[in-house]
């Protein structure tokens, strides 16, 4: 894997696909700068070599160049994080952009306007990719969050740099982390799969069964498994049409010698609300009119025991509605167990939007080995798919 560390950028302009698709509040201030910070090592390596950088990214899903999706809103935090005043231009192709890029000096950074202001970006348009390719001597992809998209700036553009293309440090480390879980792992390997639906995680579970020793299933999706086994789940979330699939997964796991751990109790509530009445119930004996919204204390202990013995841990998806304080304990307990195992030498990879939010909410970001910046991309890698943005560099 050729990375920016293998190239001397002195006197060269690096055209870098970054992922600055960050959340903004109503005043258009950045509320989470994780993805901007994640791009910093790649950019600084090029600057230290004596190169210059042209950064390109998308933001949101604009329909008609709406102001709220302009990348000008991130110039200030980006400049602060890099410690360099970043230049900005209000388009990403055209004569004006060419002029500014041609005048870029070593040590300068230019951010182009939102790529998705042009529909050709998401269409993977070759002519659009060629126009973008004129803005750099070397193409660097450091946008793991969009590596699963065959867009002009993530996959097509690489063809215009047959010799001069490489991985950014973030993209390289994201790939290495997933490989560390799936290929170069130390056993026992535990995968924790949570979230609402079995259907959205089925391909991941099927792909990782050959590579893991323990599978913890939590969150809303657990109730489909419990009901499939004959349990009473009250008004809990269930995918009625996926019960046979749940039983198939349990059977496959058994055949492959994978221990599956399902919740044994739950915090149940009489409504989906932060002010609901709650009590603890056995997971397979939830009364009608009540729903399971978090893992119960016995389950937390059970999951913690499994995690304690693990050497490699993958966490994707929460085990409760952690956004509400009443139902946050299970996910928090899980995060703390993973942090403890990591401290004791395990490798832990956290990915998928909600798990990342949970890790941030409980201040555990620095206590796990790696937090992935790319939800969809990481999921597709775990499913065993080849991502277009990665394939284009290989």
For the chain, what are the domain ranges? Answer: 4-172, 185-382
pLDDT tier for residue 373 given thresholds of 50, 70 and 90? confident
- 352-365: b (≥16 Cβ within 10 Å) or e: bbbbbebbebbebe
Cα–Cα dist 19/388, whole Å: 15
Catalytic residue among 17, 35, 131, 332: 35
To the question of whether residue 389 is assigned a binding role by annotation, the answer is no
CA geometry: angle 24, 145, 93, nearest 5 deg: 75
pLDDT of the residue at 2:
96
Residue 353 has what pLDDT? 62
CA distances in angstroms from 72 to 69, 153, 350, listed in the order given:
9, 19, 30
Residues 6+ apart with CB under 8 A from 243: 224, 227, 228
User: In what helix (H) or strand (E) does residue 211 lie, and over which residues does it extend?
Assistant: none
Residues with Cβ within 8 Å of residue 192, at least 6 apart in sequence = 216, 218, 303, 307, 313, 314, 315, 316, 317, 319, 334, 338
Known binder of ligand: residue 6? no
Residues 121/58, Cβ–Cβ less than 8 Å: yes
pLDDT digits (tens, 9 = 90+) for 219-235: 999 999 999 999 999 99
- Residue 141 is labelled as binding a ligand: no
Alpha carbon distance 177, 374 (integer Å): 12
Query: Is 355 labeled as ligand-binding?
Result: yes
65 annotated binding-site participant: no
Determine whether 376 is an active site residue: yes
The fold for domain 4-172 equals Rossmann fold (3.40.50)
User: For the segment 322-367, what is each residue's pLDDT rounded down to a tens digit?
Assistant: 999 999 999 999 999 999 999 999 999 998 768 888 999 999 999 9
Contact 314, 378 (CB under 8 A): no
Whether 292 has a binding-site annotation, put simply, is yes
Candidates 334, 1, 343, 366; CA nearest to 165 is 1
Looking at residue 309, what is its pLDDT?
A: 97
Q: How far is CA 346 from CA 73, 283, 309, in A?
A: 39, 30, 9
Collapsed DSSP state (helix, strand, coil) of residue 342: helix
Residues 6+ apart with CB under 8 A from 223: 233, 236, 237, 238, 283, 292
Q: Is 65 an active-site residue?
A: no
According to the annotation, is 21 in a ligand binding site? Answer: yes
pLDDT tens digits, one per residue of 171-227: 999 999 999 998 888 999 999 999 888 888 888 999 999 999 999 999 999 999 999
261 labeled binding residue: no
Sign of CA dihedral 251, 254, 255, 258: positive
Is 384 designated active site?
Answer: no
Catalytic pick from 197, 252, 311, 326?
A: 197
CA distance 187 to 184: 10
Is 327 annotated for ligand binding? no
Tell me the CATH number of domain 185-382, given options 3.40.640.10, 3.40.50.720, 3.90.1150.10, 3.40.50.1260.
Answer: 3.40.50.1260
Could you tell me which of 129, 165, 168 has the C-alpha nearest to residue 145? Answer: 168
Exactly one of 12, 87, 367, 376 is catalytic; which is it?
376
Q: Is 105 exposed, middle or buried (0-12, 13-18, 19+ CB in 10 A)?
A: exposed
Q: What is the pLDDT of residues 306-318, one digit of tens each?
A: 999 999 999 999 9
- Quote the CA–CA distance of 171 and 87 in Å, as a whole number: 24
- Model confidence over 81-128: pLDDT tens digits? 999 999 999 999 999 999 999 999 999 999 999 999 999 999 999 999
Say if residue 5 carries a ligand binding annotation: no
* Cα 319 from Cα 266, distance rounded (Å): 10
In 3D space, the residue among 119, 131, 136, 137 whose CA is nearest the CA of residue 92 turns out to be: 131
Same topology, domains 4-172 and 185-382? Answer is yes
Flag whether 17 is marked binding: no
Closest C-alpha among 285, 289, 358 to residue 320:
358
Residue 37 assigned to a binding site: no
pLDDT in tens, 128-141: 999 999 999 999 99
Does the predicted model carry a pTM greater than 0.85? yes
353 is catalytic: yes
């Amino acid at each position: 894997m050729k990375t920016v560390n293998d190239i001397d950028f002195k006197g060269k302009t690096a055209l870098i696909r970054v992922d600055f698709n960050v959340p903004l509040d109503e005043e258009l201030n950045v509320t989470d700068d994780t993805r901007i910070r994640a791009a910093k090592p790649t950019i600084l390596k090029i600057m230290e070599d004596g190169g210059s950088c042209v950064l390109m990214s998308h933001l949101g899903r604009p329909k008609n160049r709406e102001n709220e999706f302009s990348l000008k809103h991130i110039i200030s935090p980006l400049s602060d994080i890099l410690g360099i005043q970043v230049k900005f231009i209000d388009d990403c192709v055209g004569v004006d952009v060419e002029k500014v890029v041609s005048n870029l000096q070593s040590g300068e950074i230019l951010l182009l306007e939102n790529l998705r202001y042009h529909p050709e970006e998401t269409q993977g348009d070759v002519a659009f990719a060629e126009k973008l390719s004129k803005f750099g001597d070397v193409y660097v992809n450091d946008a793991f969050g969009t590596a699963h998209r065959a867009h002009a700036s993530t996959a097509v553009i690489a063809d215009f740099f047959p010799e001069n293309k490489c991985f950014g440090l973030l993209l390289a480390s994201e790939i290495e982390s997933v490989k560390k879980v799936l290929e170069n792992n130390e056993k026992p390997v535990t995968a924790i799969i949570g979230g609402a639906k079995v259907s959205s995680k089925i391909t991941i579970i099927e792909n990782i069964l050959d590579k893991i020793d323990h599978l913890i299933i939590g969150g809303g999706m657990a109730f489909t498994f419990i009901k499939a086994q004959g349990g009473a789940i009250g008004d809990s979330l269930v995918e009625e049409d996926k019960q046979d699939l749940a039983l198939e997964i349990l059977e496959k796991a058994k055949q492959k010698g994978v221990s599956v751990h399902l919740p044994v109790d739950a915090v149940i509530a009489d409504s989906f609300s932060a002010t609901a009445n709650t009590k603890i119930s056995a997971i397979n004996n939830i009364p009608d009119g009540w729903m399971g919204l978090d893992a119960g204390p016995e389950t937390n202990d059970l999951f913690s025991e499994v995690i304690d013995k693990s050497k490699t841990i993958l966490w994707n998806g929460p085990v409760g509605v952690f956004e509400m304080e009443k139902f946050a304990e299970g996910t928090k307990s899980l995060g703390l167990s993973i942090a403890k195992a990591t401290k004791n030498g395990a490798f832990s990879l956290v990915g998928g939007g909600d798990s990342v939010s949970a890790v941030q909410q409980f201040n555990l970001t620095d206590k796990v080995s790696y937090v992935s910046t790319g939800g969809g991309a990481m999921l597709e890698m775990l499913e065993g798919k080849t991502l277009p943005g990665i394939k284009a560099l290989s």
